[in-house]
């Protein structure tokens, strides 16, 4: 992965290339283990390629490409120079999850003396209890599905004996991958000289913090700027008793300590859907319990329907919608898990389910315990730290708290690993003297089911609502990839540009490698590339990327470039 990315840079300097190589080589397992110190929480605490640290190290190289040699050496030297700001550090980040890690790496690149405080293990949710182990399990479920698909195998002329799995082997695979990436992340911080301060970070006042076990041994430090990156934990609604065995959250499920015959998944968002893919591939029957009127309510409605046809209907999955799980009692004394369902609107009792296990996937709660927000007059809103569009923290009087930022799950803007990291980078740009506002509508998201769902920008109803409010038309373009030579499954894409100026408002893809394909669209949105220009970009044949080529070409826009021919609008 590293060499593939650095080669594509055509870097003029061999030093730059070897910088990546040597930093990458430094990513050996660390003997130092960081331990959680004193704070209680349920579980205290990227994606297409799982090696997030390699990606970030490569990104460091990518930025360095345009710099002069002294900048390259500064990056290599890392964080050793004393802060010129008069504070102990230029930047202190509380929380070494993906958000904190991304911010720290960018801060070193910018020459800031940086420290990161971590109360548990480096990598946070994504690496230890989120993206990485869940994608490792999904990699297993993808292979199981392929091997179990006799018809598909036969079409290649392949014969495969009955596919089976070793539960502990699968669990070890997920755990080992998380450990490896945790080590990589820790070493990438160390090799750049970021000070990793162990313990709970608490803000004492403006530009002042302490860290430690919360006792007299705590150390006080000062920082010119502070970033809160304390993440989130599973949200368990009232009335649900989690015992970690038969009633579990994603924290427990990722350990795959058992594969239940019948599991109820409460909540059909990202976590619910991805785990339904894993459990059904491993032989479980799944019952969804969803409070809203349809399953997968967060997705674009049409894509949701399509996904239901492929990801739900043919599998051993049934669902209850429009109901709350009001009370869940773990299995005990030979009795199964009891789930009491009430009507989401009337609150009348509806049904009682008896299942082997229940996975609670009803969202995540921001984690700000012990952070000392009261010391700087900041009140959380539904638990989230209030921020403006530049991630600057807003106090209880609606005023910005100088030099204080909050990124990632703790601010609730977009609970995704890459969003946390991008927000961190954006803040570092600002504290280094360059204004930067992240366009959240350009941040892609993906659900790593088989096949995948991906999206960027608005859903169709959101685009129509915006159009009605702002007085423009929306053009809807759709394409399907049923007979593509490269595609082994159906791929469908949808997008909605503005016909008057060609701006892309949203793109949604369902199908093989949708999570990778979305980036052409998200980059186009981020860069402000319009339909009338991108439709002339050439895609290699035969590749899945042609689904986007077709999508862009089929969009109807009124405007044209010098190369483009104006087309009539069909809304």
Ligand X SMILES: NC(=O)c1ccc[n+]([C@@H]2O[C@H](COP(=O)([O-])OP(=O)(O)OC[C@H]3O[C@@H](n4cnc5c(N)ncnc54)[C@H](O)[C@@H]3O)[C@@H](O)[C@H]2O)c1
Task: Provide the annotated active-site residues.
Answer: 541
Q: By the 8 A CB rule, do 342 and 348 touch?
A: yes
Task: State residue 64 phi and psi, 5-degree precision.
Answer: -70, -25
Q: How far apart are CA 16 and CA 65, in angstroms?
A: 7
Nearer to ligand FAD, 201 or 336 (CB): 201
Nearer to ligand X, 203 or 271 (CB): 271
Q: How far apart are CA 300 and CA 306, in angstroms?
A: 10
Site for ligand X, rule CB under 6 A: 237, 266-272, 274, 289-292, 297-298, 324-325, 361-364, 415-416, 445-448
Q: How far apart are CA 446 and CA 226, in angstroms?
A: 30
Q: Residue 290 binds which entry of ligand X, ligand FAD, none, with Cβ cut-offs from 5 to 8 Å by kind? A: ligand X
CB of 327 to ligand X, least distance (A): 10
CB of 228 to ligand FAD, least distance (A): 8
Q: What is the dihedral of CA 548, 549, 555, 561, to 10 degrees?
A: 130
Nearer to ligand FAD, 45 or 497 (CB): 45
**Beta strand 285-290 pairing with 262-266:** parallel
Residue partners of 40: CB distance under 8 A and separation at least 6:
none
Q: Residue 24 binds which entry of ligand X, ligand FAD, none, with Cβ cut-offs from 5 to 8 Å by kind? A: none
Kindly tell me the number of DSSP H helices and DSSP E strands found in the chain. 17, 23
Q: Is the N-terminal amide bond of 247 cis, ω within 30° of 0?
A: no
CB of 304 to ligand X, least distance (A): 11
CB of 49 to ligand FAD, least distance (A): 12
CB of 556 to ligand FAD, least distance (A): 33
- Rounded to 5°, the CA angle 485-534-464 comes to 95
Nearer to ligand X, 48 or 204 (CB): 48
Q: Residue 231 binds which entry of ligand X, ligand FAD, none, with Cβ cut-offs from 5 to 8 Å by kind? A: ligand FAD
CB of 517 to ligand FAD, least distance (A): 16
In three-state form (DSSP H/G/I as H, E/B as E, the rest C), the secondary structure along 324-373 is EEEEEECCECCECEEEEEEECCCCCEEEEEEECEEEECCCEEECCCCCCH
Site for ligand FAD, rule CB under 6 A: 44-47, 94-100, 117-120, 124-126, 129-131, 134-135, 200-201, 229-232, 250, 271, 367, 370-371, 408-410, 415-418, 420, 448
Q: Residue 268 binds which entry of ligand FAD, ligand X, none, with Cβ cut-offs from 5 to 8 Å by kind? A: ligand X
Q: Which residue has the tokens 């077709």?
A: 550
Q: Is the N-terminal amide bond of 451 cis, ω within 30° of 0?
A: yes
Q: Residue 291 binds which entry of ligand FAD, ligand X, none, with Cβ cut-offs from 5 to 8 Å by kind? A: ligand X
Q: How far apart are CA 215 and CA 211, in angstroms?
A: 9
Nearer to ligand FAD, 40 or 469 (CB): 40
**Beta strand 219-228 pairing with 89-94:** parallel
Q: Residue 260 binds which entry of ligand X, ligand FAD, none, with Cβ cut-offs from 5 to 8 Å by kind? A: none
C-alpha pair distances (Å), 16 with each of 12, 65, 425: 8, 7, 21
Nearer to ligand X, 409 or 520 (CB): 409
CB of 535 to ligand FAD, least distance (A): 29
How many C-beta neighbours within 10 Å does residue 105 have? Answer: 27
Q: Residue 325 binds which entry of ligand X, ligand FAD, none, with Cβ cut-offs from 5 to 8 Å by kind? A: ligand X
Nearer to ligand X, 87 or 275 (CB): 275
């Amino acid at each position: 992965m590293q060499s593939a990315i650095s080669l594509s840079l055509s870097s003029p300097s061999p030093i730059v290339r070897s910088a990546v190589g040597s930093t990458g080589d430094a990513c050996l397992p660390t003997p130092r283990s960081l331990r959680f110190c004193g704070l209680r929480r349920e579980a205290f605490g990227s994606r297409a390629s799982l090696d997030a640290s390699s990606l970030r190290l490569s990104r460091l190289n990518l930025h360095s490409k345009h710099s002069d040699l002294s900048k390259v050496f500064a990056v290599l030297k890392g964080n050793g120079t004393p802060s010129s700001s008069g504070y102990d550090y230029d930047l202190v980040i509380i929380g070494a999850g993906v958000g904190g890690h991304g911010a720290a790496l960018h801060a070193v690149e910018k020459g800031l003396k940086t420290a990161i405080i971590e109360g548990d293990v480096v990598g946070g949710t994504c690496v230890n209890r989120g993206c990485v182990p869940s994608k490792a399990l999904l990699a297993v479920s993808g292979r199981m599905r392929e091997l179990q698909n006799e018809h598909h195998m036969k079409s290649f002329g392949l014969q495969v004996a009955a596919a089976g799995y070793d539960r502990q082997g699968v669990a070890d695979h997920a755990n080992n991958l998380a450990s490896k990436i945790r080590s990589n992340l820790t070493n990438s911080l160390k090799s750049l000289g970021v000070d990793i301060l162990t313990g709970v970070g608490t803000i004492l006042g403006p530009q002042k913090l302490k860290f430690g076990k919360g006792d007299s041994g705590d150390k006080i430090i000062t920082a010119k700027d502070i970033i809160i990156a304390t993440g989130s934990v599973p949200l368990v609604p009232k009335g649900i008793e989690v015992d970690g065995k038969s009633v579990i959250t994603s924290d427990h499920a990722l350990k795959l300590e058992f594969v239940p015959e019948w599991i109820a998944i409460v909540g059909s968002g990202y976590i619910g859907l991805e785990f339904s893919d894993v459990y059904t591939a491993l032989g479980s029957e799944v019952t969804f319990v969803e409070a809203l009127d349809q399953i997968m309510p967060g997705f674009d409605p049409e894509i949701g329907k399509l996904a239901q046809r492929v990801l739900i209907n043919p599998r051993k999955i049934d669902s209850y919608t429009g109901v709350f799980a009001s009370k869940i009692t773990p299995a005990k004394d030979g009795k199964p898990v009891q789930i009491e369902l009430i009507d989401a609107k009337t609150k009348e009792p509806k049904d009682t389910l008896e299942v082997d296990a229940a996975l609670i996937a009803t969202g995540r709660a921001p984690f700000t315990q012990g952070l000392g927000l009261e010391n700087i007059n900041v009140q959380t809103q539904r638990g989230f730290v209030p921020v403006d569009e530049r991630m600057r923290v807003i106090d209880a009087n609606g005023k910005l708290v100088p030099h204080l930022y909050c990124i990632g799950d703790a601010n609730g803007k977009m609970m995704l690993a890459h969003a946390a990291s991008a927000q961190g980078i954006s803040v570092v740009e600002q504290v280094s003297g360059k204004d930067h506002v992240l366009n959240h509508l350009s941040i892609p998201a993906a659900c790593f089911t088989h096949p995948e769902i991906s999206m960027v920008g608005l859903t169709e109803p959101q685009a129509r609502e915006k159009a009605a409010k702002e007085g423009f038309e929306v053009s809807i373009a759709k394409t399907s990839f049923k007979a593509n030579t490269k595609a082994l499954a159906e791929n469908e894409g949808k997008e909605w540009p503005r016909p008057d100026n060609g701006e892309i408002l949203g793109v949604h893809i369902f199908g093989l490698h949708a999570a990778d394909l979305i980036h052409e669209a998200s980059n186009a949105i981020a860069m402000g590339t319009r339909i009338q220009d991108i439709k002339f970009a050439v895609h290699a044949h035969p590749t899945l990327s042609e689904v986007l080529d077709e999508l862009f070409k089929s969009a109807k826009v009124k405007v044209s470039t010098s190369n483009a021919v104006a087309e009539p609008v069909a809304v």
